[in-house]
Structure 1
Amino acid sequence: MKTFSVFALAVALAAALFSGCAPSGREAPELPGRPGPAYIQWLEEQACLRRAVSVTSVVSGSSLNWRRGSRASLLPEDARTWFFASPALTAWSGSDSLTEALVGEHAEARLAGLGVQGVLLADLADTGDEWAGRSPAAGLGTDGVGLSLGRLAGTEESFSRWKAALAGKGLLSGGTLLPADTGAGPDFFLSLRGVRDYPGLYAMTEISPRLWPLLPSLEKEETAPLSASAAAALAAQGELPSALEQDAVSEPPRGWAVTGPVDGVDGVKRRWAYRWHGRFDRPVLHWDDPSGAARRVMEAGLIDQIGLRHEALIGVSVDAWLGLDGPNDVTGHGSAGAGLEPGLSALRDLTRNAHRYGASVLVRDALPTPLLVPLAESGADFFFDSVLFPALEQSLLTGEARYARESLCRARAAGVDQRRLWRMAPEGLPRPGNARLAALMPEGWASLLTPSPDASFRINAPTLAAAACGLAPGARPNAEEAPAVRDAHALLLAARAFLPGLFMLSGTDLDGSLPEGDDWPGTPPLWQPNGSPSSRRGLPSGYPLYRRAPGCAMDDLLRAMLSARASCGIASGEFLDAPDCEEPGVLTLVSALPGGGALAFFGNVSRQSATFSPRFSRWTQASERRDLLSGSAVPEKRMTLPPRSWRAVLLR
């Protein structure tokens, strides 16, 4: 049975802190056998709930609540191309923080030169993995536990220098809130010890001592996931709900976990059951608790990010809240009629307040396509593009465009507004559909990407392109293979760039980071802003293909792609159709442009050259057809695309 010893980790962490090494950078007192006042006070100094009091007081009773309306996004129409980075997905040399490294390498100048309009720095807080003494590889930085900048992110001073550098190049900046499923950190430890209203922060309940025999036998203060039979037994006793809407689906994993006996600050031993999501050491915040603790923390995060750090785009993760309620019917959370509460209400409230403070909201969760339409009622500005992922990657791996085409057509039929999607090629975060992609990988790749049965399938776009080109795992492409990898990668980017919505680049899109050797641990190689081989906290830095292979630099291609994207206004266009093509490997995308006319994108996902005749109405009725990048006229009758190539054509 998997277990997680909260107390043991806290003790170990405190010892590390005492010697000067800790996520918070602060010294903890010696721990007695039961939590004493000094230890509780030290935990509260790190806790989100305590900091929320001072942060929210900035707005309470002021005119800041009324300066903007809550229903409209303020993100400029011409700010629809962004860059994504996080400490856990970046490697840099020396002992500097991420923000210091970015400023020192003048990353803002490179990004502005490419045509990027904003930078989203995600997951800057300390994480539950760090509090547990693990590498961020486990959660890739997504299990945040604080409202302040973490030690890998940098200081407020270095962050201010980074913001000034962005402003100097005319770039916007964005950040992310704590997820609904945080890591196990100070607030969670205080909750288990029954400190004031901290237990109301998480979806947890105290288990009566008479029912402890129904629970798994755990050592002092360990935690472990609760089996279905044990959960049913507790439900029969009225301690847990018999079912929740979200229990009807299995991905991502979720359920109940329990603790061993925990010494409370009042001297009473308690065992708790708490809701987890993704991993059993990721407890879920309780949005509906009458104390309002979770709301206060999330509201403080908004004020901190938007009001104090002046972020224009805020990433939120609410999947753990979707269906965290009793069942309304038997159809399950994944169906169109399933309940989405309290997630929908939480997203609506967070979005309204973000708009009032002056920022737009980007939903980071990869949600099933049928949920995108009802969740759009929240007013959130952008949702992750689960329409193209993993369908586009599946098409690239199989050489058949039908997977991406069918997914786009289903989304259109469901009423998904493509302008409300944010699109990014894979960058390490686990997404639905991973099992399907792993099954399509060339021999050896699937086992490499999932080294253990419990490992999430994580991959970046260059690595997936290498797999599609048939490279052996961990091998460096030779002079002939390198251009093919870049072409396949560029196709994954271009198909997204020339559709409506917000387009997001990542660090590995810039340098083509690939795994090296046979012992790559199943996490994506990292972006290296300075080009020097290095790694942070055990994650592999990777082989930067586009830096090392002559003639394979990606910057010129990205610059042309982003310039063409901006010039035609496709970000605000309207997706019309993905018509069939006589060549099974050719994906055709047609969108209406806001200034009139249309844009047709053609992408050949196969390894063979494709010659075909476009046969959709916008093409045949157009009086003018011009290549978007070169401006040259395009013949009406026949078109030829080399393997893994693409073309964007303006239709007038």
Structure 2
Amino acid sequence: MLQQARVLARHYSGNSIQWQHPYGQPQPHAAVARASVWFTAYPASTIAASPGTSVISTLAEERLWSAFQAIGIQGIHTGPMKRSGGVRDLGYTPSIDGNFDRISFEIDPAFGTEAQYKAMVAAARSHGAIVIGDVIPGHTGKGPDFRLAERAYADYPGLYHMVQIEPRDWGLLPPVPAGHDAVNLTPAAVDALQKKGYIVGQLHSGIFYEPGVKDTDWSATDVVRGADGVERRWVYLHYFKQGQPTLNWLDPSFAAERLVIGDAVHELGVLGDGMLRLDANGLLGIERDPTGRVWWAGHPLSLTANQLIADMVRKLDGFTFEELALPLDVMREMSRGGPDLSYDFVTRPAYDHALLTGDAEFLRLVFQLMREYGIDPGRLIHALQNHDELTMGISHFAVHADETFPFRGGRLTGKELRELVRREMYERLLGERAPYNLKFGEGVASTTATVVAATLGIRDLGALKPGDVERIRRLHLLLAFYNAMQPGVFALSGWDLVGALTLPAASVRERLADGDTRWINRGAYDLLGSNPQASQSAGGLPRAVALYGSLTEQLQSSDSFASRLARLIRARAQLHLQSARLADVPAVQAKGLFVLVHELPDNTGLEITAINFGDRAIDESVPIRGAATGSKAIDVLEPQAPPLDLGPDGRLQLRLNAFAAKALRIKGPVSP
């Protein structure tokens, strides 16, 4: 990849193309305007449209894009599609993390070809949409770049956070087991190497930790004969799995910068993507501070690195978004100069907690904190399920562990609040109550449909009746309403569109061997329903149970999940809600009630998003700031319903059934 980046750079250096677009500041509103509703694909879970058809050609299908356009989807985030995994001897080894271990700028042959990718970009553009790609700035796989680094060739060792261990200290390193190319270090070995001055020491990141598989974030290579004939052993950092060596963003060679920028330029200039995800982009700096603490999360170098990548992408007329759970204060800093958009890991666990408990107080608190920290919901990607687990790190409260927050009539420290919320979610999402979900790290491997099933107290997914499916669909749409009816990007996955359930653990037992339980929420899906005989995806994942059916089937019924979703997205677009501004989060009395007030663009009025996350009907008067006395609120999704009158006291009477929601519009200029 470093060599590919060198060659690619020659086409841009000294070229006027670099000076056509502003780039120094994030442009969230321009990014949202380019595509405000996304489909987030997962290549390994995509069932081909027909036997022999590639994944990429499937995602370029005219029938699929016609369905996407009917729903209102304006962008497809493909997920990582470049060759990944590693190289050993003279052959390639498979990806160990869903193609998040990139080793080349080439398209992975398992998904298709570069020509097919460009055809997908053209298909998207013909339907007024864009393709969104990926850059992985924190690590690579063990491909040619890493193998050249092991051999101390040229400046390749400068790519990675790797350190050559002197032969006299090889006794500190355990032997590499037969059949492996590295061995994970024990905490004692890491401590010994730190005392010798080789490495910064233990991170205690907890990422992918599994006893006997990954006990620390450091591994050692076997003895490798270099290009110069010298035999070496290296110790290298990997935040994630052993096959994902961490890049070194502050090496005099600046090799990591050249590789990652080259990858971004390739995505934009060669493949034709309009936007890029920066995955795990907050883990780009590490040091040992004077107190002995290893500083790795939220390091200032991450801000600098993100600024460089995001600036280069904007310089070439693209946009970026970050996908990493960060505390609100770090998000605020990143928003000042880095990516244009950020994945909404902030409210995702909070809205799921509201649904699971019937109590939206934690969600209301999170929105209050967002306003205090100046986090604009309009620069967030509000998503249903993605390829990962339901993330429950709730990082802001972990970092602000000693700060107190108001909750349920008292005050709890961040640590206490985080533990309480997670405990309440674990109790409802795992174990006997929901045996179809599994714990992963600090989160839960689940689909949106199985989160809803757990909420409804459904224990046996094999015994679902039509009434159960309708209840699941109804609450699934409630969560879609929450994410869609606010400013910013609304994103949903293939698992959401078909109503996928989790896979039985036994069906992906080999993939779970390293403790990565997320494979149960990555079952294969057939969006078009055109390949019913396929029992698995091209990536080898078993077909998931799809409660709602294919898009082809659903769009023939006005009452289906996809058709109801299309009406919701159409109403969002008519309001231009994606470009609105959050004006207020009114205080309410009912536990399950959650209300947002948005100022619509061009001073055209207010939109009120009202949701009842509880299982009991609500009838409550809610203050609406900014609305003129005597205003009328029209139900956006049911315009034939009688309008609601705003009382002389500026309050609106909201009546919501259990697990129900309304979007209301008040026309006219907004009062100060």
**Which category describes the TM-score, using the shorter chain as reference length?**
0.7 to 0.9
Cα distance, 1:135–1:399 mapped onto 2, change above 3 Å: farther
Question: Could you tell me how far 1:359 is from its partner in structure 2?
Answer: 0.3
Cα distance, 1:278–1:440 mapped onto 2, change above 3 Å: farther
Question: Could you tell me how far 1:252 is from its partner in structure 2?
Answer: 6.8
> Are the aligned partners of 1:473 and 1:518 in contact in 2 as well (CA < 8 Å)?
no
Corresponding position: 1:106 with 2:63: yes
Corresponding position of 2:400: none
Letter of the structure 1 residue corresponding to residue 657 of structure 2: P
Corresponding position of 2:528: 530
> Are the aligned partners of 2:37 and 2:490 in contact in 1 as well (CA < 8 Å)?
yes
Q: Aligned runs of 1:511-526 on 2, under 5 Å?
A: 511-515=498-502, 519=506, 521=508, 522=517, 523-524=520-521, 525-526=523-524
> Are the aligned partners of 1:224 and 1:258 in contact in 2 as well (CA < 8 Å)?
yes
Match of 1:629 among 611, 622, 637: 637
Corresponding position of 1:14: none
Corresponding position of 2:2: 49
Question: Could you tell me how far 1:561 is from its partner in structure 2?
Answer: 1.0
Cα distance, 1:82–1:339 mapped onto 2, change above 3 Å: closer
Q: Secondary structure at the match of 2:267?
A: helix
Question: Could you tell me how far 1:577 is from its partner in structure 2?
Answer: 3.1
Match of 1:640 among 640, 655, 669: 655
Cα distance, 1:563–1:551 mapped onto 2, change above 3 Å: closer
TM-score, normalization: structure 1?
0.84
Corresponding position: 1:205 with 2:163: yes
Corresponding position: 1:545 with 2:552: no
Match of 2:437 among 440, 449, 465: 449
Cα distance, 1:395–1:130 mapped onto 2, change above 3 Å: farther
Q: Secondary structure at the match of 1:363?
A: strand
Question: Could you tell me how far 1:356 is from its partner in structure 2?
Answer: 0.7
Q: How many Å separate the matches in 2 of 1:365 and 1:227? A: 27
> Are the aligned partners of 2:429 and 2:437 in contact in 1 as well (CA < 8 Å)?
no
Q: How many Å separate the matches in 1 of 2:572 and 2:62? A: 27
> Are the aligned partners of 2:437 and 2:450 in contact in 1 as well (CA < 8 Å)?
no
> Are the aligned partners of 2:107 and 2:114 in contact in 1 as well (CA < 8 Å)?
yes
Q: Aligned runs of 1:321-360 on 2, under 5 Å?
A: 321-327=283-289, 340-360=299-319
Question: Could you tell me how far 1:237 is from its partner in structure 2?
Answer: 1.2
Deviations 1:193-246 (A, max 9, x none): 222222111111111111111122324663222233222211211111257xxx
Q: Secondary structure at the match of 2:479?
A: helix
> Are the aligned partners of 1:445 and 1:473 in contact in 2 as well (CA < 8 Å)?
no
Corresponding position of 1:463: 450
Q: How many Å separate the matches in 1 of 2:285 and 2:228? A: 34
Question: Could you tell me how far 1:90 is from its partner in structure 2?
Answer: 2.1
Sequence identity percentage:
25
Q: How many Å separate the matches in 2 of 1:493 and 1:129? A: 38
Cα distance, 1:426–1:104 mapped onto 2, change above 3 Å: closer
Corresponding position: 1:574 with 2:581: yes
Question: Could you tell me how far 1:348 is from its partner in structure 2?
Answer: 0.1
Corresponding position: 1:503 with 2:468: no
Q: Aligned runs of 1:167-178 on 2, under 5 Å?
A: 167-178=125-136
Match of 1:611 among 592, 610, 619: 619
Q: How many Å separate the matches in 2 of 1:118 and 1:519? A: 34
Corresponding position of 1:407: 366
Q: Secondary structure at the match of 2:260?
A: helix
Corresponding position: 1:588 with 2:575: no
Letter of the structure 2 residue corresponding to residue 594 of structure 1: P
Corresponding position of 1:126: 83
> Are the aligned partners of 2:219 and 2:237 in contact in 1 as well (CA < 8 Å)?
yes
Question: Could you tell me how far 1:61 is from its partner in structure 2?
Answer: 2.2
Q: Secondary structure at the match of 1:154?
A: coil
Q: Secondary structure at the match of 2:287?
A: coil
> Are the aligned partners of 1:601 and 1:649 in contact in 2 as well (CA < 8 Å)?
yes
Corresponding position of 1:268: 230
Match of 1:90 among 24, 31, 46: 46
Q: Secondary structure at the match of 2:601?
A: coil
Moved more, 433-442 or 280-289: 433-442
Q: How many Å separate the matches in 2 of 1:616 and 1:518? A: 48
Corresponding position of 1:80: 36
The answer for unaligned runs of 5 or more in structure 1 is: 1-47
Question: Could you tell me how far 1:360 is from its partner in structure 2?
Answer: 0.7
Corresponding position: 1:277 with 2:278: no
Q: How many Å separate the matches in 2 of 1:101 and 1:57? A: 34
Match of 2:19 among 52, 58, 66: 66
> Are the aligned partners of 2:360 and 2:593 in contact in 1 as well (CA < 8 Å)?
yes
Letter of the structure 2 residue corresponding to residue 218 of structure 1: V
Q: Secondary structure at the match of 2:6?
A: helix
Cα distance, 1:620–1:440 mapped onto 2, change above 3 Å: farther
Cα distance, 1:526–1:497 mapped onto 2, change above 3 Å: same
Match of 1:218 among 171, 176, 180: 176
Q: Secondary structure at the match of 1:602?
A: strand
Q: How many Å separate the matches in 1 of 2:351 and 2:20? A: 42
Deviations 1:254-301 (A, max 9, x none): 722212222323332211111111223221111111112111111111
Corresponding position: 1:192 with 2:200: no
Q: How many Å separate the matches in 2 of 1:493 and 1:296? A: 40
The answer for unaligned runs of 5 or more in structure 2 is: 210-215, 394-421, 509-516, 647-651, 668-672
Deviations 1:59-81 (A, max 9, x none): 11222222222135453626312
> Are the aligned partners of 2:284 and 2:305 in contact in 1 as well (CA < 8 Å)?
no
Q: How many Å separate the matches in 2 of 1:486 and 1:635? A: 31
Q: Secondary structure at the match of 2:107?
A: coil
Deviations 1:347-377 (A, max 9, x none): 0001111111000111122323332101112
Q: How many Å separate the matches in 2 of 1:118 and 1:482? A: 28
Q: How many Å separate the matches in 2 of 1:348 and 1:512? A: 38
Q: Secondary structure at the match of 2:8?
A: helix
Letter of the structure 2 residue corresponding to residue 91 of structure 1: I
Moved more, 349-358 or 545-554: 545-554
Moved more, 442-451 or 507-516: 442-451
Q: How many Å separate the matches in 1 of 2:470 and 2:75? A: 29
Question: Could you tell me how far 1:481 is from its partner in structure 2?
Answer: 0.8
Cα distance, 1:106–1:530 mapped onto 2, change above 3 Å: same
> Are the aligned partners of 1:321 and 1:341 in contact in 2 as well (CA < 8 Å)?
no
Q: How many Å separate the matches in 2 of 1:178 and 1:368? A: 21
Cα distance, 1:509–1:440 mapped onto 2, change above 3 Å: same
Question: Could you tell me how far 1:248 is from its partner in structure 2?
Answer: 6.8
TM-score, normalization: structure 2?
0.82
Q: How many Å separate the matches in 2 of 1:374 and 1:121? A: 28
Cα distance, 1:194–1:181 mapped onto 2, change above 3 Å: same
Cα distance, 1:293–1:322 mapped onto 2, change above 3 Å: closer
> Are the aligned partners of 1:248 and 1:333 in contact in 2 as well (CA < 8 Å)?
no
> Are the aligned partners of 1:462 and 1:514 in contact in 2 as well (CA < 8 Å)?
yes
> Are the aligned partners of 2:582 and 2:597 in contact in 1 as well (CA < 8 Å)?
yes
Cα distance, 1:444–1:129 mapped onto 2, change above 3 Å: farther
Deviations 1:611-635 (A, max 9, x none): 3322344578561211122224135
Letter of the structure 1 residue corresponding to residue 644 of structure 2: V
Corresponding position of 1:9: none
Letter of the structure 2 residue corresponding to residue 280 of structure 1: Q
Q: Secondary structure at the match of 2:444?
A: coil
Moved more, 548-557 or 509-518: 548-557
Letter of the structure 2 residue corresponding to residue 528 of structure 1: D
Letter of the structure 2 residue corresponding to residue 573 of structure 1: A
Q: How many Å separate the matches in 2 of 1:439 and 1:135? A: 36
> Are the aligned partners of 1:80 and 1:503 in contact in 2 as well (CA < 8 Å)?
yes
Corresponding position: 1:494 with 2:481: yes
